[in-house]
Structure 1
Amino acid sequence: MTRELKEVQGIIFKRQKYKEADLLAKIITKEDGIITLVVRGALRPKSQLNAATLNFSYGRYVIYTNGRGLSNLRTYKEVKQYDGLYNDLTKNAYASFILDLIDHAFVEYQPLGKYYELAKFALERINENTDPEMITQIVQMQMLKAYGVEPELRHCLICGKETGIFDYSIKLGGVICSDHFATENSRLHLKPKETAVLRTIDLLPFERLGSIKLSSDTKKATRKAIDRIYRGTIDLNLKTKKFLDELKLFNPSNN
C-alpha cells in the first residue's frame, strides 16, 4: 500500500519513548480512528514536535501513512491543549481512563464516528470543571455498545413494561420491573433513582447529559453498578482504571 501525506484532526492521548530521541504518540481521530505516530527527534531539546504531542494536545497533524502500522508525524497546525487535564492529577486520571476505554474498543484505523465526539465531549467538559465522575459514568454506559454489549434499558426484559420501578440484571442484560423482583435473583438491588440514572445516561444523547448533578451516595452506587456490569460482560483490565480507583481511595474527596 502506497504511503501518502495526510492531514488528520485529533487528540493526542498516549506517549512513550521509542528510540534514542524519538517518541510514539497515539492520536484519536474521527475519520481515521486511532493512529500510532512516530515523532522523530521529539526528545531533543527545544523540539517543537514534542510540545505539539503532549498528552491532551489537539489540533491538525500532517502525517505520512499507508493506513496501517506506524505512521510518521511530519508537522502540525493550530495545536492547542486541554491545560486543565494536563495540569490536574485527578482530571488527568479520569481523562486517561476515558481515552483508554475508547482505545481498547477499536482496532487502529477503524473510524470512530460518534465515539470520537463522545471523547471530545468528555474531555471538554472535564477540562471545564464539570464533575469528572459523572462524565466518566456517561462515557462508560455509552461505550458498552462499542464493546458489543447492548443492554436493554428502555423496557422490562421480561414483560416489556416501560414505566414504573426498575432494577438492573446483569444475567438478563438489562432492566426488569418490580413485578419480577421476587423471581430474578441476579438483579443488582439498586434503588429506583439509581436505576433511573443508568437508564438516562445510556439512552439520552450525551450532548444533553453534561449538567447532571447527583448526590455523592447516588454516584457511588451507580459507579459500583457500572463496574459490575463491565466485570460481568467485558474482559477488561485497564491500568488507567486501576490507577483511578486507587486515586479515589487515596483521596476520598474524589469520590
Structure 2
Amino acid sequence: MDERFEGIILFKRDYREKDALVKIFTKEFGAKMFFIKNFNQANHPLRRHCIPITQQYFLGKINESGLSFLKEGQTLQLFRSIQEDHEKLAYATYFIQLVDAALEDNVANLNVYTILSQCLSLLNQGLDSQVLMVCLEMKLLPYLGIHLNWQSCALTGRQDGPFDFSLKFQGILSQAVWEQDDFRLHISPKTIHVAIILANCQLEQIQSINLGQKTKEELSRLMDTIYQEFVGLRLKGKSYLKQLKQLDEQVQAISNVRKRSNESGPVIDF
C-alpha cells in the first residue's frame, strides 16, 4: 500500500545508467533509501523533488528493509537562500551528514527530524551558521550515545559559575574544583555560559543570541574537542568547513596587508 509522507532529501546518487538512489530522512519512517527508475531522463517528474537539502511531500511504497519507491512529489521547502549561497550550502551539507551519521536507518525520530528542519529553516533565514552548527552538534550528542552534564557542576552540583568544561568528568566544572582536572579545556566562563544556554534552549529561542567572533570560535573548539574525544566522527562536510575557514583567514590576511600598504602611501619602484 502506498504511503504519504514528508521528508528532507539527504543525497542523490546515480545507479546504473539511467536510474538513481535517493536517501530521504522521512518524518514518519526515518532515513530510507529510495530507488527511482529512469530518474536521469530530463523529463522525469520526480527530478525537481529530489534535490538535496530540500523538504518535500511524497507518495510512495515504504518497505521495512531494502529499497523503497517513490511515485509522486510535492515541494514543501526549497531553502532557496541555502541553495544560492556557497557557505550556507556547506553548513547545510554538514548538518545532514551529521544527522545521517547519528541515526540508524529505518527508525523514525520525530525529535531529530524537527531539529534538522528547524536548523535548515533558520539557516535559510540568515541566522548565524556557526551558532546553528554548535547547537545541532550539542543536541545530537545523546543520539550518538554521549550524555554530558550541562545543567550543574559535575562534581559539586553547583549551578552558579564561573564554569569550565571537563572531558574527564563529562560536564561543566565549577571554579571551586577546577584543580580536580589539570586538563580542563580552559574555555572562558563567558563561552561556557553561552554553551549552557544553547544546550538547554529550544532552537527557536536562539534568534535573539548575538555572539562575537571570539566566543563563536571558542564554542567551535569546545564542540570539536568533544566530538574528537567522545564521538570520533570524520565527516567530509566538517573538513570542508575547516578548509573554507582557513581560506577566509588567508583572504582576510591579504586584505589587511593591502590595507596597511595603502594607508602608508604608494610604493614607488625605481
TM-score band by shorter chain is over 0.9
Q: Does the 8 A contact of 2:33 with 2:67 survive in 1?
A: yes
User: Which runs of structure 2 are paired with 1:1-255 in the superposition (5 Å)?
Assistant: 4-252=1-249
Report how many aligned residue pairs link the two structures: 251
Q: Given that residues 168 and 181 in structure 2 are in contact (C-alpha distance below 8 angstroms), is that contact kept between their aligned partners in structure 1? A: no
Larger Rg computed on CA atoms: 2
In the alignment, residue 217 of structure 2 is paired with which amino acid? Answer: K
Aligned amino acid, residue 126 of structure 1: L
User: 1:132-177 deviations in whole A, cap 9, x for unaligned?
Assistant: 1111111011111111111001111111111121000012100110
Q: Residues 12-46 of structure 1: CA distance to partner in whole angstroms, max 9, x if unpaired?
A: 12111112111111111222111111122221123
For residues 79 and 41 of structure 1, what CA distance do their matches in structure 2 show? 24
**By how many angstroms is 1:206 displaced?**
2.0
Aligned equivalents of 1:149, 1:66: Cα separation in 2? 31
Cα distance in 2 between the residues matched to 1:98 and 1:77: 23
Output the TM-score relative to the length of structure 2: 0.89
Q: Give the conservation status (yes or no) of the 8 Å contact 2:191–2:219.
A: yes
Provide the C-alpha distance between the structure 2 equivalents of 1:190 and 1:138, rounded to a whole number of angstroms.
Answer: 17
SS at match of 2:179: coil
- Can you give the 5+ residue segments of structure 1 that lack an aligned partner in the other structure? none
| SS of equivalent residue, structure 1 residue 104 | helix
Query: In proportion to residue count, which structure has more helix?
Result: 2
Normalized against structure 1, the TM-score is what? 0.94
Distance in 1 between residues matched to 2:173 and 2:102, nearest whole Å? 28
